[in-house]
Amino acid sequence: MNTRFETPAMAEPETGGDGSPGFGPPLGPRVGVVGAGAFGTALAQTARRGGAEPLIWAHEAETVQAINDTASNPAFLPGVPLDPGVRATADLADLADRDLVLMVPPAQHMRRLAEALAGHLAASVPLVLCSKGMEAKTAKLMSEVVAEAAPGHPVAVLSGPNFAAELARGLPSAATLAADDPVLCRRIIARLGLATFRLYASGDVVGAQIGSVVKNVMAIATGIVHGLELGENARAALLTRGLAEMTRFGLARGAERETLQGLSGLGDLMLTCSSLQSRNMSLGHEIGRGGDAATVLAGRRSVAEGAITAQVLAAEAERLGVDMPITRTVDAVLNRGLSLDRAVADLLTRPFKAEET
Ligand SMILES: NC(=O)C1=CN([C@@H]2O[C@H](COP(=O)(O)OP(=O)(O)OC[C@H]3O[C@@H](n4cnc5c(N)ncnc54)[C@H](O)[C@@H]3O)[C@@H](O)[C@H]2O)C=CC1
Ligand SMILES: O=C(CO)COP(=O)(O)O
């Protein structure tokens, strides 16, 4: 079944947060954000641009202080001045009065934070999941984790090609906003959508997460190819066959092909596999240049979700009987000491086959 909402049902009265076309009445302006990394901060700034009153929960006291006292987040979003209306707190209980909450922690912290937040929030408050990864110990998607950790809360997924720094600066961006409930989907879009942040509605909650999970692993692979100077042809081949892997895995997990070809799938794959702004691609690049993943990661405060996802995604693909050779190879390089020469040789000497998903 295609769960994309029909176009006529979408064409409703109409204003996003900045007066741009939206759908119906927005959710209230009290937007909570869990996670003051680059993306949580950028989303708070974007919501503020649309007239919301964002309050971010940050893990570090110094981040709370920097946002509140200097309207900046030098640790995670350096060089981007924030609107003074973006506020921060170290106490999740302060999010109790929020009209909706954007969940943007690293994926491995999602369960604990959703559980803790649910203790302070009415179960009717929607949670918008913006993190891009799977839970390592369960292979669950973020929506599955949050359904267990914060039962009863309506859930939506925001996912697309959105480098935080560009979004925070107000440069034009677009993303998929997926929810089972079309009315909720429209109300979130009306709250968060802007002319410079175009949100496209979808009913495919699973599909909207699969793209972001797989693309991070592909970005590491592409970075390795870049670091090894294997050329642009190789990068394009990898990206295209990466889409085939994403599609096979997505279909096996119940995603719709159309979603995987949209902003949250192909769109994010293209972005993350074409710029060293991507932490995942730059991690791969460092490895391709001879660096060691653990050492590179130890030198960063930012998260490269693909480094965690590769192992769980490879195992999950095997369990489901889905062939994911690029993912398997990235996992083997990161976690089992496979040499880059062997990795490239293994991928290049696979038997020829029909070009298909
Ligand atoms: N940065 C970007 O351009 C984008 C990031 N995302 C996703 O957003 C999620 C968060 O990433 P970023 O905002 O980039 O983070 P980041 O990489 O900028 O910062 C790391 C974050 O981890 C938090 N953290 C570290 N230890 C923690 C702990 N023990 N408990 C709770 N939080 C802890 C830090 O407070 C900080 O918020 C990830 O899943 C990422 O894939 C999605 C779209 C774009
Ligand atoms: O998800 C992202 C852009 O859409 C950010 O990618 P990185 O986490 O690789 O920087």
Q: Which residue has the tokens 């009306």?
A: 190
Contact between residue 316 and residue 137 where contact means Cβ atoms under 8 Å apart: no
Backbone angles phi and psi of 170, in degrees to 5: 85, 15
> Rounded to whole angstroms, how far apart are CA atoms 325 and 348?
11
**The predicted structure's pLDDT at residue 200:** 97
Residue set of the binding site for NADPH? 39, 59, 132, 164, 279, 303, 305
CA of 13 to the centre of ligand 2 (A): 33
The number of the ligand 1 atom at minimal distance from the alpha carbon of 42 is 13
Q: Which ligand lies nearest to the CA atom of residue 283 in the structure? A: 2
Angle at 136 between CA 124 and CA 37, to 5 degrees: 60
CA of 306 to the centre of ligand 2 (A): 10
The helix (H) or strand (E) run that includes residue 272 is helix 268-272
CA of 11 to the centre of ligand 2 (A): 31
The number of the ligand 2 atom at minimal distance from the alpha carbon of 163 is 3
Contact between residue 98 and residue 55 where contact means Cβ atoms under 8 Å apart: yes
> Rounded to whole angstroms, how far apart are CA atoms 24 and 12?
6
CA of 268 to the centre of ligand 2 (A): 8
Residue set of the binding site for sn-glycerol 3-phosphate? 132, 160, 215, 268, 278-280
> Rounded to whole angstroms, how far apart are CA atoms 340 and 197?
39
**The predicted structure's pLDDT at residue 4:** 44
> Rounded to whole angstroms, how far apart are CA atoms 34 and 95?
9
> Rounded to whole angstroms, how far apart are CA atoms 191 and 31?
9
CA of 280 to the centre of ligand 2 (A): 7
From the list 137, 140, 215, 353, the catalytic residue is: 215
Query: What are the structural domains of the chain?
Result: 30-203 (3.40.50.720), 207-349 (1.10.1040.10)
Provide the 3-class DSSP secondary structure of residue 212.
helix
Instruction: Answer yes or no: 353 catalytic.
Output: no
Contact between residue 158 and residue 132 where contact means Cβ atoms under 8 Å apart: no
**The predicted structure's pLDDT at residue 19:** 58
The widest CA-to-CA distance across the chain, in whole angstroms, is 60
**The predicted structure's pLDDT at residue 20:** 55
Mean pLDDT by runs of 10 across the 357 residues of the chain is 42 52 75 98 98 98 98 98 98 98 98 98 97 98 98 98 98 98 95 97 98 98 97 96 98 98 98 97 97 92 96 98 98 96 94 90
Given ligand 1 and candidates 56, 57, 59, 103, which is best to mutate, with the most ligand atoms within 8 Å of its CB?
A: 59
Contact between residue 34 and residue 92 where contact means Cβ atoms under 8 Å apart: yes
Provide the 3-class DSSP secondary structure of residue 136.
coil
> What is the tally of helices (H) and strands (E) in the chain?
16, 8
Q: Which ligand lies nearest to the CA atom of residue 42 in the structure? A: 1
User: Cβ(162) to ligand 2 under 6 A?
Assistant: yes
User: Cβ(163) to ligand 2 under 6 A?
Assistant: yes
Give the binding-site residues of ligand 1, using a 6 Å CB cut-off. Answer: 35-40, 59-60, 76, 104-107, 109, 130-133, 162-164, 302-303, 305
> Rounded to whole angstroms, how far apart are CA atoms 243 and 327?
11
> Rounded to whole angstroms, how far apart are CA atoms 288 and 329?
13
